[in-house]
């Protein structure tokens, strides 16, 4: 799906913070975790909020870029791998490690990281049905034909009145 999808799910900063707190509450029951790995760039923001709530200070990133236009997700490329010291935590397969992203859509991004650390706990704030099986904990599910608009991608803009010419 793309920003031209029929359904829009705009998220304000306030709503996003609230949803990240709800995610942290669920993760508090699923832990304990020794470290967080955020999937950049979208995972950086929820990771900061969850790290604060769960008092986690060991934060790593895995940097994945998808080369896509507004219609199609292109090839995914790992720009930065997970550090060996983080991979070595627990059983060396991700046990005790929390992986966070802002959302899962097709699940392709989560699958790449799942293949790196199969026993890690995967969390996303929002999930679409195709990506849901890759995620252990999420807050809100939206339909596959919905596009989620994050607060960092939006700005205040004039809204036309619902009823045109209502001043006259
Ligand atoms: O489940 P998928 O179909 O793989 O899509 C989900 C991914 O897409 C978005 O990231 P994007 O690649 O747009 O990059 P960004 O996080 O740097 O904005 C989002 O932040 C997820 O990481
Ligand atoms: O619904 C979405 N919103 C923002 N970025 C995305 N990347 C994949 N799906 C989405
Ligand atoms: Mg992303």
Segment 121-144, tens digit of pLDDT: 999 999 999 999 999 999 999 999
Q: How confident is the model over 32-37, as a mean pLDDT? A: 98
Q: Is the pLDDT of residue 3 over 90?
A: no
Q: Point out the ligand nearest to the CA of residue 110.
A: 1
- Ligand 1 centre to CA of 42 (Å) is 7
Q: Is 107 annotated as a binding residue?
A: yes
Q: 159 lies in a domain? A: no
Please state the length of the chain: 168
Domain limits for position 121: 8-153
Q: Alpha helices of 31-139 — where are they, by DSSP H?
A: 44-54, 84-87, 108-116
Q: Is the pLDDT of residue 168 over 60?
A: no
**Catalytic residue at 115?**
no
CATH of residue 73's domain is: 3.40.50.2020
Number of domains comprising the chain: 1
3-state secondary structure 37-80: EEEECCCHHHHHHHHHHHCCCCEEEEEEEECCCCCCCCCEEEEE
Q: Is the pLDDT of residue 1 over 80?
A: no
ipTM of the complex, rounded to two decimals: 0.99
């Amino acid at each position: 799906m793309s920003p031209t999808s029929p359904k829009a799910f705009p998220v304000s900063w306030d709503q996003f913070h609230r949803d990240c707190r709800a995610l942290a509450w669920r993760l508090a029951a699923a832990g304990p975790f020794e470290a967080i790995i955020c999937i950049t760039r979208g995972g950086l923001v929820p990771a900061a909020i969850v790290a604060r709530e769960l008092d986690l200070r060991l934060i790593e990133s895995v940097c994945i870029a998808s080369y896509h236009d507004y219609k199609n997700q292109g090839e995914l490329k790992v720009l930065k791998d997970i550090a060996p010291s983080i991979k070595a935590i627990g059983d060396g397969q991700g046990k005790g490690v929390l992986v966070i992203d802002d959302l899962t859509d097709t699940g392709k991004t989560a699958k790449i990281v799942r293949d790196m650390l199969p026993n890690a706990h995967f969390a996303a704030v929002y999930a679409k049905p195709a990506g849901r099986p890759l995620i252990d904990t999420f807050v809100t599910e939206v339909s596959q034909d919905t596009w989620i608009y994050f607060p960092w991608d939006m700005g205040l803009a004039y809204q036309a009145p619902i009823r045109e010419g209502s001043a006259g």
